[in-house]
Amino acid sequence: MKRLMYLKDVVTLAFDGEKCTGCLMCLSVCPRGVLAAANGKIEVAARDACIECGACQCNCPSLALTVRSGVGCASAVINRMLGRKGACCVVEEGGQA
Amino acid sequence: MDTPAGVVPRVSSTLRPSDRIGAFKVRWGVGRMSYTVDPGLYALGRPGPDSYVFVTASYKMSFDRLRAALAGRDGWILVLDTAGINVWCAAGKGSFGTEEMIDRIETSGLSDIVSHRRLIVPQLGGPGVAAHEVKRRSGFQVVYGPVAAEDIPPFLEGELKATPVMRAKTFGTSERLALVPMEVIPALKVALPAAAVLSILAFLFSGLSIERALGPARIVWVALGTSVLAGAVLTPLLLPWLPGRAFSAKGLVVGTAAAFCALFAGAGLGVLSALSVLLSVPAIAAFLAMNFTGSSTFTSLSGVQREMGWALPLEAVGTAAGLALWVAAAVGGG
């Protein structure tokens, strides 16, 4: 099955090639194939596939990858707007399966 | 079993019927927040000091999937305290994270039990675990395993290298189907009381005549039922084939088609009632579809915020307009 894609040109993923040491840890944690190895470092190969999970940022020892991480969940955004606690989708039950 | 760090509970890799029934109930939202495993170290089969250590969350379904995937193998399972939340969601919250992992390595006495210094961590724990921090502070190297527990055997046989396919989170039809109940049940929790209240209103508008209230009440039940079917069942199932990228757009398409089907089936409605259905059903279906962003595996927070910026007002206006037309029809007998 082809990769499902969400909206274009919206994610906050940023890559600083100067800082990248080419350890490639980010490649092991990205669940969306956003990044690829290139010239001893990495490159952002499929930016729109990024879901801003933050795994690459968390596992980048040189702070070359940054992203405003969060959960792409409308219910969570509504819950926050309504001032309910918790970032998860279903307030009383919490989280995806 | 006995270890240098004390007694470690042993578990089997065979799931019992009660495990399967438990998983089914959780899918339907029954006892979902108390489906937990005690954090700590477990022995699977007869592991030794060289056996692999697999890390998972204290959500019982995560634990069960892992041990079932390891059928016929010996290993250690280190359960982090994620308050019964799965790996992915707990990693997003940080409870499946660096601090908890380092604490759990210490309290379990893992360093005395195994001779190596390597943990196999589910890839989807990545948002919460900084591998370099775990290594620096505990000495244990984090090796990210595949996304799906089922891929662990080939991962182990492939010298702990995951293929690109193992690294990608899929969202196939069966995965989406499994999530449908958790879309439908919360939707019904709102839709059923709403339908009941509106039915009572229909009774009041009709001058307390059950006979005349039946028409408007039936429209409410059909409209809400159609909306839930379109937005919470059909849109998730048909997701890859629906036009548009925004979930609201996909829900709108299904909702519009479903509204026309409902009207076709209930021919003979007045103009106001028909318009009410045609406005409200697509709007509610779009809203419910938008809520599926949270269960899906390919949406981003920035994307959801952008979508909601235009979709939420439209969904609210559509629903309100549908409701207003319904009231006009119920009062005026249209």
B26-36 confidence digits (pLDDT tens): 888 887 778 89
Please indicate, yes or no, whether residues B114 and B228 belong to a single structural domain of this protein: no
Position B17 confidence tier, pLDDT thresholds 50, 70, 90: confident
Q: Which domains does chain A have, with CATH numbers?
A: 14-66 (3.30.70.20), 71-97 (no CATH)
A38 φ/ψ angles, rounded to the nearest 5 degrees: -155, 125
Question: What is the span of the domain harbouring residue B36?
Answer: 2-167
Please indicate, yes or no, whether residues B195 and B227 belong to a single structural domain of this protein: yes
B281-308 confidence digits (pLDDT tens): 999 999 999 999 999 999 999 999 999 9
Q: Which residue of A has its CA nearest to B186?
A: A90
- Picking from B135, B167, B199, the residue at the C-terminal end of a domain is B167
Nearest Cα neighbor of B59 from B20, B33, B40, B21 is B33
Question: Does any CB of chain B come closer than 8 Å to the CB of residue A33?
Answer: yes
Please indicate, yes or no, whether residues B159 and B184 belong to a single structural domain of this protein: no
Question: Does any CB of chain B come closer than 8 Å to the CB of residue A17?
Answer: no
When CB atoms are compared, the residue of B147, B290, B302 closest to A74 is B290
B116-125 confidence digits (pLDDT tens): 999 999 999 9
B91-125 confidence digits (pLDDT tens): 998 999 999 999 999 999 999 999 999 999 999 99
Give the residue carrying structure tokens 């700590």: B40
Instruction: State mean pLDDT over B203-232.
Output: 94
Share of chain B above pLDDT 90, in %: 84
Given an 8 Å threshold on Cβ–Cβ distance, is A74 in contact with B304? yes
pLDDT score for B194: 97
Count Cβ–Cβ pairs < 8 Å, chain A vs chain B: 170
In order of B166, B241, B311, B322, the CA distances from B237 in angstroms are: 23, 9, 21, 26
Judged against a pLDDT cut of 90, whether residue A92 lies above it is answered with no
Please indicate, yes or no, whether residues B190 and B312 belong to a single structural domain of this protein: yes
Number of domains, chain B? 2
From chain A, the residues in CB contact with B130 under 8 A are: 58-59
Please indicate, yes or no, whether residues B180 and B158 belong to a single structural domain of this protein: no
Cα-Cα-Cα-Cα dihedral of B191, B195, B196, B202, to 10°? Answer: 160
Nearest Cα neighbor of A29 from B324, B145, B34, B317 is B145
Contacts of B11 (CB under 8 A, 6+ apart): B42, B43, B44, B67, B77
- Min Cα distance A33 → chain B (Å) is 7
Q: Report the Cα B21 to chain-centroid distance in Å.
A: 18
Please indicate, yes or no, whether residues B78 and B120 belong to a single structural domain of this protein: yes
- B42 close to B108: Cβ distance less than 8 angstroms: no
Q: pTM, whole model, 2 decimals?
A: 0.89
B188-210 confidence digits (pLDDT tens): 999 999 999 999 999 999 889 99
- Picking from B167, B184, B213, the residue at the C-terminal end of a domain is B167
pLDDT score for A21: 96
Please indicate, yes or no, whether residues B36 and B153 belong to a single structural domain of this protein: yes
- A23 close to A61: Cβ distance less than 8 angstroms: yes
Q: Report the Cα B171 to chain-centroid distance in Å.
A: 11
Identify the DSSP state of A62.
T
Q: Which residue of A has its CA nearest to B241?
A: A4
Question: Does any CB of chain A come closer than 8 Å to the CB of residue B238?
Answer: no
- Picking from B167, B193, B221, the residue at the C-terminal end of a domain is B167
